[in-house]
Amino acid sequence: MSLPSSPRVVQIGLAGLGNVGAGVYKNLDRNRALITQRTGADIQVKKIAVRDLSRPRDIDVPADLLTTDWRDLIADPDIQVIVELIGGTTQAHELVCAALRAKKIVVTGNKALLAERGQELFALAEECGMPIYFEAAVAGGIPIIQVLQEGLVGNHIVSIHGIINGTCNYILTRMSQAGLSYQDALQEAQDKGFAEADPTLDISGWDAAHKAIILASLSYGFWIPQNLVHVEGVQKVTLTDFAFAKRLGYTIKLLSVIRADADGRVEVRTQPTLVPLSHVLASVSGSFNAVLVNGDTVGETLFYGRGAGQDPTSSSVISDLCEAAAVLIYGPRHSGFVPHGLYGKSKPIEDTVSRYYLRLTVDDRPGVVAQVAQVLGARTIGISSMIQPEDLEDTSATTSLVLMLHDAPLGAVLQAIEEITALPCIKEPPAWMRVETLLS
């Protein structure tokens, strides 16, 4: 394939000029010559939809490019590609549907939209013959979508383990390395711009869960129902848990886990997880992201980089724009999502199996361990180790008891924890986390 003798102009409509939108505009202009040389396309911003024309901006944009109505982008016959960066799932959904029906290619970084309505949108894309590109929806500047769609297309995906929310990773890193409380670490993340003023979507785990749904759907060929995804946030992780985890040879990360079992049932979950200190994922610090993909042919591959921010995310959007330009010049390949029939069921979360960390605050008296062990044993949950390091905390009539549990279904573990909580010797609600088994 050779490049056209003269560059082909590709006009785009940009919906949203916030942090990422501004980065797209700035970096398209800065690297315009490079992009043209590499793609044969002169990608030009024809029109930009914004909410407020008077809002001060860090970049200079000609006033005649701006509009407050995204429908102006759809109505312009010269615009061939729509870039949706307005966020949310209502107006963005309307915009994407309108763009596809108007026979315009769509580029989006909207993970929530794709996680919640991806199946519908890609069906419409197929019907309209227009692709959707969404590299920026997962892991910022890491090209993980392209990896799954193209680089690993000849692999069955055995599993994916991802640290894919920079806000939570920053918070947990600061708790682990600096001994900050959760609240202090969150405040620092907000002060440094790693967390929003309202951080709920991040700290609840749902930002990472939306990304995990997209990765799982690409890997296994069907759209994962959101209500079958297990999600827990980082709000309950304490410095005490970090101290015990370190004693046991682990750290704590908000980890998204995606994998299929022997029957083709796919589990997708995001939760604070004990990760071995010896594993490379344990060293992913600050706001960085990492995605560990295990393919049956390639083995394990690790992708690491900035998971958010203006420049990394805009890099992914521009990559998609170059792909869109290639489609316009050389012809389409697929809608952006290719279903296949090897899988098709989500695994019930209560059937998912892993090891567990269980921390109890108990009466400091004989017989307590036996009571707890009896409850666990009745549900065939084995104890692999137990520690009671009193030097980690100041206690009097009560003490901490930390149990590491063997592989067990989550449903059985939750039932056991409910029974343990009701024991008279238990003085506080138990704290528990999964322990992920990873190849070193």
* Residues labelled catalytic: 211
Q: What are phi and psi of 57, to 5 degrees?
A: -130, 155
Q: What's the token pair of residue 424?
A: 């008279």
d(CA 157, CA 148): 9
d(CA 402, CA 435): 13
Residue given tokens 């040389």 in the structure block: 37
d(CA 227, CA 121): 18
- Would you say 320 and 136 are in contact if contact means Cβ atoms under 8 Å apart? yes
Q: Would you report the helix, strand and coil content of the chain in percent, each value rounded to 5?
A: 40, 25, 35
d(CA 332, CA 350): 42
d(CA 40, CA 172): 44
Pinpoint the alpha helices (H) of 331-409: 368-378
What residues pair up with 162 in beta bridges, in sequence order? 256, 291
- Would you say 273 and 434 are in contact if contact means Cβ atoms under 8 Å apart? yes
**What residues contact 9, with CB distance under 8 A and at least 6 apart?**
41, 42, 44
Please state the length of the chain.
440
The amino acid sitting at 357 is Y
Helix (H, G, I), strand (E, B) or coil at 271: strand
Pinpoint the alpha helices (H) of 192-309: 200-203, 206-220, 239-248
Q: What's the token pair of residue 123?
A: 């069906």
- Would you say 316 and 136 are in contact if contact means Cβ atoms under 8 Å apart? yes
Residue given tokens 């899988």 in the structure block: 343
d(CA 37, CA 32): 9
Can you list the positions of beta strands (E) in 307-393?
345-346, 353-363, 383-387
d(CA 234, CA 306): 20
Sign of CA dihedral 86, 88, 91, 95: positive
d(CA 254, CA 275): 10
